[in-house]
Amino acid sequence: MGKIAFVFPGQGSQTVGMGKSLADQHLSIQEMLQKADEKLGYSLTDLMFNGPEDKLTLTSNAQPALLAASMAVLKRFEEEGIKPDYTAGHSLGEYSALTAAGAITYEEAVWAVHQRGNLMEEAVPAGQGAMAAVLGMDRAALEEIVSRISDEGDVVAAANFNCPGQIVISGSKEGVERASEQLKEKGAKRVIPLNVSGPFHSPLMKPAAEKLRSVLQEANVQSSHVPVIANVDAKPVQDAESIKENLVKQLYSPVLWEDSIQTLLDAGVDTFVEIGPGTVLSGLIKKVNRRVRTFAISDEESIVKAAAAIKEDGQ
């Protein structure tokens, strides 16, 4: 059997009701989620279980809620005795990956991403930033177009390299609109505007990044037990100072997800476990390499099934 990576979803995977069935079945998970409520000073759990959806979707709520839901699933999955060789997470999911790898405690991570969400919301007033998914466009050609538009004064940048043929752009409303038109003219199959509250992973997030630095100092980040593949350079990291520096850069730099998966494949990973709500990452991983095994776990049934399959393979 090859190596195992635990991967964690980012913002957009949140759904009302996430984590509820596990909390109903396991008192230890109920208690774990309540610790997030205590740390934040409001009932994140109630928001996760009951909504309303528009409030859960706010960046400052969605980020801690997703991290808490992912860590609840992880807690139950760890009881099956399966450990990762590597962890990785998409954008916000990198904080879940770092928590899973022991670089930051659960409570500190919940608090840090709540602060991160606040900073991201404050960085660019609503309506002034935008993001769009670009399908079927060559990476180098896209980077050339967005670079030229930015040089002309309308900020736009590649934000996520998700998988072959799927890149997200981010920046000012005008920059994203201009880039969308030009990318379609240059052969992009589709450009889909995203329903997000800000221009994440673009240079417009730099003011928030500097404030995030002091949040991370307070959050007591440690060196990790296993390597975490960083979004900013798709390289394994364990050293505490490097982790913090990467997280600051991550706010305004592209998420190199396709490259991160390639790094894991090159390191001998053949089993990916997506831990938390949704199946987005499993789909992206299959587009990088369709031969690898992926498991998406979010409730008791999917946890038990995945654990049984991995253990059977390891015998």
Question: Where in the sequence numbering do the catalytic residues fall?
Answer: 91, 201
Determine the Cα–Cα distance for residues 219 and 215; give it in Å rounded to an integer: 6
Q: How far is CA 96 from CA 105, 107, 133, 193, in A?
A: 10, 11, 24, 27
CA distances to 28, 126, 164, 211, 313 from 260, in Å: 33, 31, 13, 26, 24
Sign of the C-alpha dihedral, residues 237, 241, 242, 247?
positive
Q: State which H helix or E strand residue 37 sits in.
A: helix 27-40
How many residues comprise the chain? 315
**218: exposed, middle or buried (Cβ count in 10 Å: 0-12, 13-18, 19+):** exposed
Are β-strands 236-237 and 269-275 bridged in parallel, bridged antiparallel, or unpaired? unpaired
Q: How far apart are CA 26 and CA 234, in angstroms?
A: 35
